[in-house]
Amino acid sequence: MPSIATWIRQCDEHWFTVIFSRYPHLKVHNARLRAVDLCQMDALMLTGGGDISIGFLRQQVADPSLIVDTDCARDAWEFTAARELLSSGKPILAICRGLQVLNVAMGGSLHIDIPGHENFERENVQPLRHSSKAIHRFAAVNSSHHQALERLADGMEVEAWSAGDGIVEQARLQSHPYALGVQYHPERDPLYLPLFSEFFDQIRDGG
């Protein structure tokens, strides 16, 4: 049975339970609850959560008070998991904070605090523009965050960005067999099921 490594907050479990109920052939290993042997995993899903702790960032932070709701244990696990799964070439889906983790793990940096992107958690009201290479083209998304990608990691290619201020909302790591990151929350609306279908197909097909 293919296995997915992840770290899912308790408050988000109900969203992902609905998603994974569609794929009973997959085994989900939540590192928040128990140890995960990354060598035995077939894919990685990085999910939403609080800010990345300052010690894991690759940049100077002028005002550390802007970094909130951190979890060093989660950071340590996710950055280790990202490095290992990137090295092994296995599929990665990165959601909201997860996209930020992926970008930082690859050498990129973040906007530490941005205005106007924290009010779209449940409604698809953040309009997007798309690159010509984008596979998934959602007209508007349920993005909710106060940090975002600033300097892109090498190989990270933007597929969609906010129509209002150009903040990155979807990106793909071109140097990896399959690594897609979105700044919005696809687990919270059936509109985004194609994202999960693509990811799970990669796992089923062995990347």
Q: How far is CA 46 from the centre of its chain?
A: 5
Angstrom CA distances, 45 to 20, 49, 75, 136, 151, stand at 12, 13, 14, 18, 22
Torsion of CA 207, 84, 10, 186, to 10 degrees: -40
**Residues marked as catalytic:** 96, 185, 187
CA-based torsion, 153, 74, 196, 113: positive or negative: negative
Cα–Cα distance for residue pair 43/99, rounded to 1 Å: 15
